[in-house]
Structure 1
Amino acid sequence: MANWTDCLNFGISIAKQASEVVLSAFQQHKEVKLKSSPADLVTETDQRVEKILISAIRNRYPQHRFIGEESVAAGERLELTDSPTWIIDPIDGTVNFVHRFPFVAISIAFTFNKQIQFGIVYSCVEDKLFYAQRGGGAFLNGEPLYVSGQQDISRCVVVTEIGAERDDVALSTTTSNICRLLKLPVHGVRALGTAAVDMCQVATGGADAYYHIGMHCWDIAASAIIVQEAGGVVMDTDGSEFDMMSRRVIAASSATVADRIAQVIQAFPCCRDDEDNCRCGATGVN
């Protein structure tokens, strides 16, 4: 079995370097462009950071493949193969970034044989580095992470997002899901504006569950393994096995909580990330 620790350490180092670009631009006026909707934004910094990351990785590992949010938005085909592959979201939380709302993350996942081997989420403004390697545990700034282990849904804080899908079906489904959870009841529902950081809250034990429909593989691949290595459960919203291309996820402190959420929420239709005819662009949590 391959040991990808050197790749993990390299990923951490370039994430820290790229964060300096993000932080430098954070307080400045941004040149904002719309992608699919007024809620789906891209800035020059998104594109610049992705180029920095991919260029650095390609120089170090020329045989590796890439899936990058901005590359896909520009028309590059999204294809996950068995080859070593880096899945990159240069700025998860672009709307936050534009508005100086301080939850902005660089998210980097690495797969081999289509299985996530490690994940890195660097919350730049907070200076919080989440990372995990398969079989090696999860960490925040070097300290071990553990989920809360909560089993009782009525004692849970649940994190989710509205996302960039804003058609009538998506909005009505999203808001009704929140209502269903609040009526269970749960302690509360929260949203930080970045799926990667949202999911990492489950790994810290600060939140007990996260769910979302309509995000993309680059939003959640890194944080999925961080939650799993912290002792949590990650699955599809219908209760089946987690598939990062399905654009549906539940991450929870326990299988009991994850199953209960899966029983309550509904998913609106959205094409898979790996569908050739998908016209969803790069929408998701932005």
Structure 2
Amino acid sequence: MSETIRNTSVATPFAADADLLAQTETAVRAAGAVLRERFGDVVRYRTREELMDALAANDDAVLDILRPRLAALRPDARWVDAELDGGALPPGEWWIVDPVEGNVNHLHALPEWAVTATLVRDNQPVLTVVHLPLTGETYTALAGAGAHLDGRPLHVSETTDLGLSIVATSQARPDEDETVVRRVGSSITEMLIDALVVRIAVPATLHLVNVAAGRIDAFWQFAGGRADLLPGALLVTEAGGQISDAQGRPWTLASDSFLAAAPGVHADAVTTLTR
């Protein structure tokens, strides 16, 4: 089976996956409540080790709630432990979870963070939940059934002019390879020339929910892991958007770039990113 993200009906009975989505949402919301309780003052650290310990403490607090609940929902599904990893997965079902998407923002008392959980079946995302505990918003998508915000259908922007578009990008990870960093910088320059406004911030998922909701028109990123791209990939696809790599080729879990855009500006965004 191809790894390419595509908008198709899932293999198991639709109703079963719809019910599973609802139960996954309940679990993610419960975990998000714990994370919200931990939010407040800036967490101070002096060394890289102290930073990593603080990040891990947030992750552990969420996973203590979320992991057993998701395991109970799909006992045979395996778990992806490394949030920053990419590439195709072995066949079967996998939970891809980012317990604190935007963890460094949470530590710095910035509001851009979320809890995400995505079920992947044979390298195809089946369902996803993205919960923003500070606002209470929950974005959901089920393959073949659309994307929603708190039950309201989402649709990508209808814009057809990149010059009138708000676009966004994100840093995939700290300590990125210099080649990737320079590629990111060059792409930002090109988008500053062609688009109306360029937003640059972490995490990727919060840009992608905005693409799905039609608030911004395109998002691109070089490199990146499954956990920061798969939830948004399914949301954007189910909201009517286009997903590819930066060169316009089908995006897979093995791709080294990612582009999500409204159909009316996708081709122009590819042109900009490959110039």
Residue 203 (structure 1) aligned with residue 212 (structure 2) = yes
- The secondary structure found in structure 1 opposite 2:157 is coil
Q: Is the 8 A contact 1:93 1:104 kept in 2?
A: yes
Q: Is the 8 A contact 1:132 1:225 kept in 2?
A: yes
Q: Is the 8 A contact 1:103 1:126 kept in 2?
A: no
Match of 1:176 among 169, 186, 195: 186
Q: How well do the aligned residues superpose, as a CA RMSD in angstroms? A: 2.6
Residue 101 (structure 1) aligned with residue 114 (structure 2) = no
| 1:94-153 CA-partner distances (Å, limit 9, x unpaired) | 111111110111111111122111111112212210111011111111111111122211
Structure 1 CA distance for aligned equivalents of residues 66 and 214 of structure 2: 30
Q: Is the 8 A contact 1:108 1:121 kept in 2?
A: yes
- Within a 5 Å distance, the mapping from 1:13-162 to structure 2 comes to 13-27=26-40, 30=43, 34=48, 42-69=55-82, 80-162=89-171
Structure 1 CA distance for aligned equivalents of residues 136 and 32 of structure 2: 9
Q: Which runs of 4+ in 1 moved over 3 A?
A: 28-35, 38-41, 165-168
How many residue pairs are counted as aligned between the two chains? 259
TM-score, normalised to structure 2, is 0.85
Q: What is the Cα deviation at residue 89 of structure 1?
A: 0.6
TM-score, normalised to structure 1, is 0.82
Residue 239 (structure 1) aligned with residue 248 (structure 2) = yes
| AA aligned opposite 2:132 | S
Residue 258 (structure 1) aligned with residue 275 (structure 2) = no
- The secondary structure found in structure 2 opposite 1:13 is helix
| AA aligned opposite 2:269 | I
- The secondary structure found in structure 2 opposite 1:190 is strand
- The secondary structure found in structure 2 opposite 1:88 is strand
Structure 2 CA distance for aligned equivalents of residues 176 and 40 of structure 1: 33
Q: What is the Cα deviation at residue 18 of structure 1?
A: 0.2
